[in-house]
Amino acid sequence: MMTSPLARFSSPIILDGGLATELERLGYKLNHELWSAKLLVKAPEAIVQAHLNYLNAGAQCIISASYQASLAGFQKMGLVDSEAVRAMGLASKLANQAVTQFVNDQHRGERPLVAASVGPYGAILANGAEYHGRYGLSDEQLYEFHRQRLQLLNVHSTDIIAFETIPSWQEAQIVIALGEECAMPNWLSLSCQDGQHLNDGGEIEQVARAVEQSSNTQAIAINCSAIETISELISRIQSQCNKPILVYPNSGARYDATTKAWIAPQTSKPLHHYAQQWVQQGVLAVGGCCQIDADDIKRLSQHINQ
């Protein structure tokens, strides 16, 4: 097994929060099928700034703006093929640019990591399909989609691949297999409907066993899931897998795929309130996903490092 770049840092590692959340806080409207990736073309400087906001908040690993990037999406924006291909590779470049700027400004510490975000097939559909994972595709079709996309995302300029928000056993198997074929470390992050099941209803333990047997999948993670479910999911993963665990859940708000809006919960505790429990359970890294911004990550970092 190759050495994990995550091993460079002492536990717990601070991850960033939701890139789209921070971009929206900066004033950008992202109700578009490319989501944050729209700004790779329209406002790349905003993506660099959002990354910098997380780095300055204490993040030791930032995740690129490629989660929802696709050739078809860029072509619908009017880009010709060569321009669309360039845009696909830009997310990793901008994340590295932000890290270099941060290191040059700070003149201290370990260089933060860049993870190349590879979202699920459902994210490309921009219809909320990642919340159920039922695509109606064969294994071969799903594999080919991810293989072609991975070739365009310039992942080899990053430290690690983050297969994110994977909602089903079918897609988890596909990206684990793909990860075995590419000479880069990766983590597999799952999206779950409760403390036991993936979004498609599959059991978390089944995926944990597959990750344990993988040579290139360095860690298993949970993201884009309800914050209240994380502790149980950690325990279930640990019963089947000895690899590091990363957690970066949503804030507690619920996403309405019809209106494409977040509905705030009536009551919810902040991310840093839960983090200490997860650290005590032995997770390697903690961060946030949807509706978690740089201020939340700053509070998390301060709480963890106090």
Annotated binding site for Zn(2+): 224, 289-290
The number of beta carbons lying within 10 Å of the beta carbon of residue 85 is 15
Both tokens of residue 87? Answer: 């845009």
Q: Which residues are annotated as a binding site?
A: 224, 289-290
| CA–CA dist 100, 117 (Å, integer) | 19
Single-letter residue type at 253: A
Nearest to 171, CA basis, from 118, 128, 219: 118
| CA–CA dist 15, 99 (Å, integer) | 13
| CA–CA dist 273, 91 (Å, integer) | 32
| CA–CA dist 87, 75 (Å, integer) | 10
Run of H or E residues at 165 = strand 160-166
* Residues pairing with 187 in the sheet: 162, 219
The number of beta carbons lying within 10 Å of the beta carbon of residue 125 is 14
* Residues pairing with 262 in the sheet: 255
Both tokens of residue 151? Answer: 């070739």
Exposed/middle/buried for residue 232 (C-beta within 10 Å: 0-12, 13-18, 19+)? middle
| CA–CA dist 100, 88 (Å, integer) | 20
Exposed/middle/buried for residue 140 (C-beta within 10 Å: 0-12, 13-18, 19+)? exposed
